[in-house]
Amino acid sequence: MREVLEIGPPCAVPDRLQQARGGALGASAWEVSAEVWRAVGGDAAVLAQLDLAGDERVYPTHFRVGAAAAACTGAAALAAAQCWRARTGWPQRVSLHFTDAALGYRSEVYQRLNGRPVASPRPFQAYFQDKNGRFVQLHMVYPHLREAILQVLAVADEPQAVARAVRQRDGFELETELAALGLPGFALRMADEWQTHAQARALAALPLMDIDAYPGERVELGAQIEVDGGAARRPLDGVRVLDLTRVIAGPVCGRTLASYGAEVMRVHPPHLTEVQGLLLDGGRGKRCTNLDLRLEADRRAFERLLDGADVLVQGFRPGGLAELGYGPAQVRERWPSLIYASLSAWGHTGPWADRHGFDSLVQTATGIAAEGAQRAASTVPHPLPCQALDHSTGYLAAAAVMISLARRAQEGGGALIRLSLAQTGRWFSSLGRIEPGVEPAEDEVGERRQTMTTLFGELSSMGPGARLSHTPARWVLPPVPLGYDAPRWQ
């Protein structure tokens, strides 16, 4: 007799942080923003420069996507304002509407190319039931992952065949087998199941992010900026960023830094592909070069880029870049003033530290998708209405990078910043629950799109969520095809 995993009644809603702006709502939203601002190492006095408006209930979910989006997007904007003040002595106000921030968390979905939605890849949130009735999610959006998972299951590329194969397996055993091969697939867990897991216990000992600042030379943020009635310069003008990331979280970090003036060079491994929608959305403001760090000539080109870089953002699994000679300790020895930001799925410690993962998989394994099903009275997993862990992690990384740049200019030294989707998910799940909002109307979305001409066509995308009073965020460069640029700084 099959043992079916029951997705039961909703969990009790914690008293903490129940609402958003307006009455009790306002105080709670500010608590979330203040918590995030402390986590990224921001100056407490700067938080008073943030103006929040609107209602956080933007999506039909009990989870606090709006509050999280406002806190993380706002932290990045405040950090940019802090960089501006470090360069000019002038403060700025940051204004943020919950709707702008939350819609930005679906930026890859809302973009339009030549007036049409960007074609979606084959489904990557593919849930199948195992022999005990437990759901398993297989992430097969990228061709090389799809082919490898199909080989493990020994089936053709056909949903019914995959479903039959998974139905013969134990979900936890399949999860372990896939992980041993570096493949992304996870069994659905309830929140209480996750809390007893060894990886959850390892994450419980970590803060939202680790920021390890270490001594070194003082490096100016860039040339001194003369402010004349709010001159049209930007906080990160002259800052150079190497972006070794894919998918959403890392690209959002680099894209955010570019919106505040940084010169961002994406370094892409030429043997890997990218989903067009993610390339377009995450590529705004960046150039892109192809480098294979396994090849000596490409390693020399990469090191020349490092010689001129201020920031390295990387999304390899923990230890992956170190195997190529560019882990945090290795880079610090040669480039001691570099700001090094490392993003991963499961964190840098614990039994799952070296596992691959994506936002939706973290939701599946940690209880978020199961709780979503409970609250929607659904018999199948119900993930968040957006990739909230990805976007939050990207904005948090950008904020921490900018705070570290400002500290380097004042005190000297580099920094190692470590974040993970699972750490972000743990924080996100702690924010309490709200009454759901409604699905945003197309006119709400459309009025927030901005259009630029690209080599792919006319791209309409969500604009920056936060507004700075003197240096509005903007993307100067359109996204480009992979490997379009030579590996050199401008």
Q: Among all residues, which ones are annotated catalytic?
A: 390
H-type alpha helices, 154-286: 159-167, 171-180, 191-195, 198-204, 249-259, 276-282
User: Is 388:65 a contact under the CB 8 Å cutoff?
Assistant: yes
Burial of 131 (0-12, 13-18, 19+ CB in 10 A): middle
How wide is the angle at C-alpha 86 spanned by C-alphas 80 and 89, nearest 5°? Answer: 110
User: Is 407:330 a contact under the CB 8 Å cutoff?
Assistant: no
Cα distance between residue 210 and residue 203, in whole Å: 12
Look up residue 245 and give its two tokens. Answer: 């990331």
CB hemisphere CA count around 54 (13 angstroms) = 18
Look up residue 99 and give its two tokens. Answer: 């709707």
390: nearest Cα among 16, 38, 109: 109
User: Is 248:395 a contact under the CB 8 Å cutoff?
Assistant: no
Tell me if residue 240 falls in helix, strand or coil.
Answer: strand
SS3 content of the chain, % helix, strand, coil (to 5): 40, 15, 45
CB hemisphere CA count around 236 (13 angstroms) = 34
